[in-house]
Structure formats: C-alpha cells, structure tokens
Chain A
Amino acid sequence: MWLWAALAVAVAVLAVLGAGLRRDPRRLPSPLVGRPTPAFSLPLLNGGVLRSEALRGRVVVVNFWASWCYPACYDEAPHLQRLWDRYGERGVVVVGINIQDTEAGARAFVRRFGQTFPVGRDRTGSIAIDFGVVGVPETYLIDRQGRIVFKHAGAVTEDLLAARIEALLAQGR
C-alpha cells in the first residue's frame, strides 16, 4: 500500500520535473511581436546609412550583437552569414546591429567572420532601446509588411531561421 503511494508520488514528481524541461523560465515573449518594426537609421561600418523604410517589402533578419559577447555571438556569426549567402538573392536582408561595443572590436569581428551583410553600430543604444533588447545576442525577424513576427534571445542557427524565412517568402507571393 505505502509502496504504491510512494510510487505514485515519485512518478508524479518526475513527470512534473520532466514537463519543466520543455519550458524556458527566461522566455519572456516580446510585446513587439506582431507590431510594426520601430523606425531606425543605422550608420553602416563601411559608410552610408541604412534606413528602416528602405527595407519595406523585404523579409529582414535584424541581429543585435557585440564583439565581447562570448561565445553566443561567435557561435551564431557564421550562421547569419550563411543565411545571407543563401537568401540574399531572394530579397532577404540580414542586418547586424552592433551595440555597446568599440569601433575596433566591431570591425575586427566582422573581418574575422568575413561578414558581407550590412552591419552598423548603434552608438547611442537608441535602436536597441526601441527594440526592447535585453541582452546580446537577440534576433528579430521582420516580414514584408514591416511587422516583427519572431524574436529570439541567444544564439540563432541557420535552421532555426531558415524555416521561418521560407514561410514568410512563401506567404508574400
């Protein structure tokens, strides 16, 4: 009798702990998901300024990063470049926004990973504030209507974004 009771309690506790594995206590859904992207103008590292209006009608990946953000930003950097290589021709834009960093650090990072997509520095941190960035790296996916459809905190992978990008590209047609 006591054994069955103990077994029932043990199994219930294990099940609850197991269910807990599928949740992320830090996941706080961004209130911006479903909302229009905050307007920004980003001075690019290799000259020129990227304005958010110029991105209208395109699927955009906005990635906030810093060269000291170790190892997550280093992990995801090649994935972002691969996404740009893979989807750039189909009108997808990857934008890197460097925050809380030095100019030299940002340039060295871009050189190391051979990044060719537009990267700029948010010197005042105002873009990050408008997006509600909590930490680096954070990545936002924007649809053709300029709405934020997805937010990810932590390193992204090519696979994670590719499926969503495909869906957005298919939708737009």
Chain B
Amino acid sequence: MSGTDTDVIDTLVGIAPGSPLDAIRARRPEARTQAQTSYRALFAPVVPGGVTAQERFAVGAFVTGLHGGAAIAAFYAAGLAASGASAALREAVDAAIAEARAQGPYGSYPAGPLSREDTAGPVYRAGANTRRVLGPRVAAAFEHMHLLVFHPRDAAPVGLQALLDAGWSTTDIVTLSQIAAFLSFQIRVVAGLRTLAGRS
C-alpha cells in the first residue's frame, strides 16, 4: 500500500522539503514521526489482529468521506481500492457516506444544568441496500463510526454491545475506535496546516 513510507500528512498538505511548514513540523519531530507511526499501526499493522486491511480502509474511507475533505477522502478511498475491495463495496461505502452526512458535534449531556446545551441530530442506521453490500459486521462498524464522528457525547454501552453482537471483539472495538479517533486528528492537522500554508 502506498503511504506506508511517505508521510501522509506532509503529502496531503503538500509540504515540500525546505518549505516554511517543513521547518515548523521539524520543530515537533516526535509528533510528526509518531503521527505517521499511528497511521501505520492502524492501516498497515505488523499484526493485523481481528480487523482486516479492507475493513480498516472501509472505515477510513467512510470517516474521511463524512468530514468532506476531498484530498484525504480520496487517499483512503484509494487505500480501500488497493485492499482488493470490490466495485460493489466501494460503491456501498460511497452510498453510506451520502446517507450519513451530518454536522457535528451534537448530542446530549447527562440530565442536569447542561441539558440546555443538548443538540438534536441524526442517529445513523445503514440503509437496507447499503447494509446488504457492507454486511452486518461492517454496517455495525459504520453506525458506530458515525456516532464517533458527529456526536461522540451520545456514546453508551448499548452501542458497544451492538458491535460485539455484530462479531467484533473487545480488542477489535479498541482498534476501530482508534481508527475513527486518529482520523479525526489527522484530518484536522491536514486541514489546519493547509489553511496556514495558504496564508503565508
């Protein structure tokens, strides 16, 4: 898979060696290296564990697609294609993104003074056709990833139980959660640094 050796954030921001942003990233060398190490741990792991490469990139394509950044979404969609995903699966991921788009963060707080800040928003359930192609396991993952992307404060044990019921193990859920959470970081570093570069 391309991207295991090339720094993904540098590539997606368009940071050239010797540029001002290259110098800025060099001042936080461990953050730069370990962000890339995180990418490799989640998308090209030494030990694949219970989550296949195709599942990792399907989730990656979905999460980045929900954020709407074209370049990073294309990167993970390319990873999904390279993992051997069928055209039907790739179309189902695109369909899921179209079904699931929202604006976050929203959600509810425990009943009390913060309830006045409760903000309603959609709970994603994959459409019948999308679910049929994704299969129940990946469909359950997408439904949980949507919660993590848009309304993480609504999380509850019942959502984790749904993942267990769909066949994910506890360790798999940790990995899926890290994928969505890490991408929430990587997407924002890319977007933020691109904006900064555009103002120099």
Whether both chains belong to one complex is answered with: no
B residues lining the A interface (CB < 8 Å): none
A residues lining the B interface (CB < 8 Å): none
